[in-house]
Amino acid sequence: MTEKNRKKITENRKILMCGNEAVGEAAIVAGCKFYAGYPITPQNELTAYMSRRMPEEGRTFIQSESELAAINMVFGASAAGARAMTSSSSPGISLKQEGISYMAGAELPGVIINMMRAGPGLGNITPAQGDYFQATKGGGHGDYHIIVLAPASVQELFNLGIKAFDLADKYRTPVMVMGDGMLGQMMEPIEFQKTENRRQKTENKKNLSSDFYHQTFDKPWALTGCKGRKANVVKSLYLKEGALEDLNNRLQEKYKKISEEEVLFEEYNTEEADMVLVSYGTVSRICKSAAKKLISEEFKVGFLRPITLWPFPYKKINQLAKAGKKFFVVEMSSGQMLEDVILAVNGKSKVNFYGRMGGGIPEESVVFAKVKELLNAKNL
């Protein structure tokens, strides 16, 4: 971190960062002790940032030989009790699925950043949202979920970046922060003051280098050497009859609790609306301004942005559907979150969709025109 930025932070002034750097700094602030990553665009700024900041803080940075190695290093660091993170973009996240499944099975916390790019295959480096299914439905093998957070600004990348570590430790689960190439690479001013935890704790603290924003969790299960206790084992293999079913039942109970307690979304004008625009991440910024324009032209439009993609705000959307609202889902995909909206609506109302793929970005004017047309046609 530059002296200039450090000074600005202590003076509670905004600093300009790109999304990749902001989420990197979030990890620093959250007390992440171990980072491993493998270069891939559009998240290279994050790996580069960590290569500077982690050693500055006396923590570990490793450029691993592959994404497979990176996630398994994170598995080890987490098993050893440390907060640990890795990051990548879509093709690399596919490789990490092995480790993520093992972490879910071994109930290890850990943070994974995915700055999505367009696929399938090598695709290209333009922003996309085609990894929604992979992230929210498990991704690797086995019956599991990870928490998926979807920030829509650089500030939120920072805030949710910190929250990701707390959620991971609280539930002993991998947490993914999922942005896209646009969010990772664009620069916006961020305010360190904005994070909830920090506000309470920074009053009499001027030095920003240490980890004081986050919650701390006891980890009696961690591998630290068995001095004064029984030996600990970190594993996902269960051979005894019924033992693996027990683990799965325990995991499902945990997922139920997360679904009940951790759903986050942003809503705007939904009560008054006939039609609610649903979108997340980068696309939500486009939809928000389209919604505002429509409202200024006296159309009854609302806006809903899931912040947690898993757990998904099924209940909220179901309530809106029951109240007769129609939906317009916009994504940079063929309609992946769309399926969750349809599930939530459960036939109670109509769901419309507009999506672009392969790096195409939905334009505000198109969203505006499509919603206007639907509302004017009256048969939504």
Partner 1 sequence: MQKIYSKPKSLRNVKTHYCPGCGHGIIHRIICEVIDELDIREETIAIAPVGCSVIAYDYWDFDVSEAAHGRAPAVATGIKRVHPDKFVFTYQGDGDLASIGTAEIIHTANRGENISVIFVNNAVYGMTGGQMAPTTVEKQKTKTTPLGRDFKLHGFSFKITEMLSVLEPVVYLERCSVHNPVSINKTKRAIKKSFKIQLENKGFSLVEVVSPCPTYWKVTPVEAASWIENNMLKQYPLGVIKDVK
Task: Work out whether 95 is an interface residue with partner 1 (CB under 8 A).
Answer: no
| 9/16 Cα distance (integer angstroms) | 11
When the beta carbons of 186 and 234 are compared against partner 1, the nearer one is 234
When the beta carbons of 212 and 238 are compared against partner 1, the nearer one is 238
| 321/327 Cα distance (integer angstroms) | 8
When the beta carbons of 237 and 343 are compared against partner 1, the nearer one is 237
Q: Among residue numbers 17 through 36, which ones bind partner 1 (CB under 8 A)?
A: 33-34, 36
| 374/185 Cα distance (integer angstroms) | 34
DSSP three-state, residue 187: strand
Task: Work out whether 226 is an interface residue with partner 1 (CB under 8 A).
Answer: yes
By CB under 8 A, name the one of 48, 223, 263, 264 that touches partner 1: 223
State the DSSP H helix or E strand holding residue 133, giving kind and residue range, or none if neither: helix 132-136
| 350/380 Cα distance (integer angstroms) | 7
DSSP three-state, residue 84: strand
Task: Work out whether 97 is an interface residue with partner 1 (CB under 8 A).
Answer: no
Angle between helices 19-29 and 154-171 (to 10 degrees): 40
Task: Work out whether 47 is an interface residue with partner 1 (CB under 8 A).
Answer: no
Task: Work out whether 78 is an interface residue with partner 1 (CB under 8 A).
Answer: yes
Contact partners, residue 115, CB within 8 Å, separation at least 6 = 19, 20, 42, 43, 46, 87, 88, 89, 179, 180, 181, 183, 184
| 167/189 Cα distance (integer angstroms) | 25
When the beta carbons of 223 and 361 are compared against partner 1, the nearer one is 223
Beta partners for 328? Answer: 277, 352
Task: Work out whether 68 is an interface residue with partner 1 (CB under 8 A).
Answer: yes
Sign of CA dihedral 181, 182, 185, 190: negative
By CB under 8 A, name the one of 7, 201, 205, 235 that touches partner 1: 235
By CB under 8 A, name the one of 5, 10, 60, 269 that touches partner 1: 60
Smallest distance from partner 1 to CB 88, Å: 15
By CB under 8 A, name the one of 8, 10, 41, 69 that touches partner 1: 69
Residues touching partner 1: how many (CB under 8 A)?
41
The window from 189-197, 232-240, 257-265, 293-301 that contacts partner 1 (CB under 8 A) reads 232-240
Smallest distance from partner 1 to CB 68, Å: 7
By CB under 8 A, name the one of 17, 32, 40, 106 that touches partner 1: 106
When the beta carbons of 57 and 188 are compared against partner 1, the nearer one is 57
Task: Work out whether 102 is an interface residue with partner 1 (CB under 8 A).
Answer: yes
Q: What is the dihedral of CA 4, 6, 7, 11, to 10 degrees?
A: 140
Task: Work out whether 74 is an interface residue with partner 1 (CB under 8 A).
Answer: yes
Task: Work out whether 126 is an interface residue with partner 1 (CB under 8 A).
Answer: no
Smallest distance from partner 1 to CB 69, Å: 4
The tokens describing 111, both together, are 């943070």
Task: Work out whether 112 is an interface residue with partner 1 (CB under 8 A).
Answer: no
When the beta carbons of 67 and 156 are compared against partner 1, the nearer one is 67
| 348/227 Cα distance (integer angstroms) | 59
Tally of CA atoms within 13 A in the half-sphere of 330 that contains its CB: 29
CB atoms near residue 271 (< 10 Å)? 10
Tally of CA atoms within 13 A in the half-sphere of 104 that contains its CB: 26
When the beta carbons of 7 and 235 are compared against partner 1, the nearer one is 235
Task: Work out whether 62 is an interface residue with partner 1 (CB under 8 A).
Answer: yes
286 and 157 Cβ atoms separated by less than 8 Å: no
Task: Work out whether 79 is an interface residue with partner 1 (CB under 8 A).
Answer: yes
By CB under 8 A, name the one of 16, 55, 66, 322 that touches partner 1: 66
Residue ranges binding partner 1 (CB under 8 A): 33-34, 36, 60, 62, 64-66, 68-70, 72-82, 84, 98-99, 102, 106, 223-228, 231-237, 239
